[in-house]
A and B are shown apart, each in its own frame.
Chain A
Amino acid sequence: MSNLGPAAGAVRRAITSACSGLVDRRALVELVALSAVAGEHVLVLGPPGTAKSEAVRRIARNLGGKYFEYLLGRFTEPSEIFGPVSLRRLKDGVLETETQGMLPEAEIAFLDEVFLGSTAILNTLLGVLNERRFRRGHTAIECPLRVCVGAANRLPEDEHLAAFADRFLVRVFVGPVGDARLEELLEASWTLGGAAAASEASMADVDTVAKAARAADVAGVRPALAHALRLVRAAGVELTDRRAARVQRLVAAAAALAGRGRADERDLWPIVFAVPTESGQRIARDALRDVLAASENESLPAAAEEGSLGPRARAARLVEHARALFEAPPAGADRGPFRQKLEGIAREIDAGFAPAAMPPELAEVRARIVAELGAP
């Protein structure tokens, strides 16, 4: 547990760095990191061209894991995902797969259009996702997979595919960047090629946090979690027992990523992302508004905010955003965009918080922004 702070800090830096220049995808990046720590898988749903793969690629690179990415199609062969059959061994009558550099050896995987995979691919994938074991012919290996991110335009209607989709506990629904942030998107896409390529953390950091999450004390928060699950079900949202039980892993991972060994009411927000449909997530957010008002996570501010719509999570995100800007203030002629960004944060603070309800840390950051913008 003693290494939790530095490891969680490294993962936090990896998230922040991965999001640099990526507009409106912070929650997705954070949820991939959360799932990697929890040992769960993520399904991202949204139209093409919404930076899903870019977001996953960046956090994978920054977490330093072995990464495998593939765009599946109806004619994709299992060997394209799991590796080719070893012809040398086949001569000896042994069916072995050369898995080097392929999914069975990946620590973080991204499978685009995941539901287009053939039955053979999806069946083998089930074993990898559920048991972290790859079996094919004479090959049977343990997979080091921390998180698999599947992506698709929409949820499958086919019953068999729905059962496969259920293996992805975390669901993230993304849409195009809103009109208000189009300038930011254009600026970011223009400079995207210049993004840094260094790892900010390592799989050892992820594993340290994951170990702390597995050891975390969740007994204290269990009654509140059960109450939240009842509220979600009472609102008519379908949440299977399997998903309800596994939410605990996300709650514990959220606490560990915040550097805490004990989960509490601040960590309940991941429940929303375990709800399998977009409309269900909307209903769950509304039903849990009071329960999730305390949501907060220094490492995962955007996901905590998106899950809870709570003021504390919103304040934490604004504080982090402002502090990140103040950490690297540009000099001289570059101050225009810097001041513009600060003005945007000030606008969001003043639009979102009545002075009497402003958390002290946010009030402090606001005062700093006022001083900066008041200076010539």
Chain B
Amino acid sequence: MSGVAVGWTPREEPLAPLAAAAWGAASRAMAERLLDLPDATLARLSGVGGAGVIVVLGEAADLPWVDGVSYLGRDAEAPSLLLPTNARPSVPAALFARALARRFPKIAPPFAVLAPEARVVSCAGALSLSRGRIERWRGGAP
């Protein structure tokens, strides 16, 4: 996970949520919430986990909610990014996507962009979620 400096302004019309990201304390709450989900819902979700961060991908109605979660969606101007559904970057989304691709050439898109720090997480390796995987991530979480 790495970051670039960018400002954010609220979106009048939100993007449709495609992913839910949580970091810090919220990421631990997210892991607990995922473990509480019914098997059928969990099976429909995929995700990636890193040091202190989880990004879950799936249909909007299946995405878990915890206090502090950030929902991400796709802006037509920057399809390689998953941007906050409720905020837009202070620079044009297409330029932002190109800047991120240049800044992080070794990270495969799509990128989940976590505001306000504009940290990026690659979702290219997202795996289907299982209780075992979530528990292993929880065991290693700081």
Contact = CB atoms under 8 A, between A and B. Distances in A.
B29 to A, nearest CB: 10
A351 B59 contact: no
A374 B26 CA distance: 13
A350 B65 CA distance: 9
B71 A351 contact: yes
Q: Which of B10, B13, B70, B86 has the most CB of A within 10 A?
A: B86
Interface string A277-300: 000000000000100010000000
B69 interface: yes
A346 B17 CA distance: 13
Sorting the interface of chain B by its residue count into under 10, 10 to 19, 20 to 34 or 35 or more gives 20 to 34
Contacts of A347: 17, 60, 63, 65, 71
B61 A180 contact: yes
A375 interface: no
Interface string A303-333: 0000001110000000000000000000000
Nearest to B72: A351
A interface, over-half SS: helix
Contacts of A344: 61, 65
A192 interface: no
Q: Which of A351, A353, A374 has the most CB of B within 10 A?
A: A351
A101 interface: no
A354 interface: yes
Sorting the interface of chain A by its residue count into under 10, 10 to 19, 20 to 34 or 35 or more gives 20 to 34
Nearest to B33: A343
B65 A346 contact: yes
A343 B62 CA distance: 11
A352 B10 CA distance: 9
A289 B12 contact: yes
B96 interface: no
A353 B15 CA distance: 11
23 contacts: A289-B12, A289-B13, A293-B12, A310-B12, A311-B12, A347-B17, A347-B60, A347-B65, A347-B71, A350-B70, A351-B73, A351-B85, A351-B86, A352-B14, A353-B14, A353-B86, A354-B11, A354-B86, A357-B10, A370-B67, A373-B65, A373-B67, A374-B67
Given A352-B14, A357-B10, 19 more contacts: A289-B12, A310-B12, A311-B13, A343-B64, A344-B61, A344-B65, A346-B65, A350-B70, A350-B71, A350-B86, A351-B17, A351-B86, A352-B85, A353-B86, A354-B8, A354-B11, A354-B84, A354-B86, A373-B65
Shortest 10 CB-CB distances between A and B: which pairs?
A357-B10, A351-B71, A354-B10, A180-B61, A352-B14, A347-B65, A354-B86, A351-B85, A351-B17, A343-B65
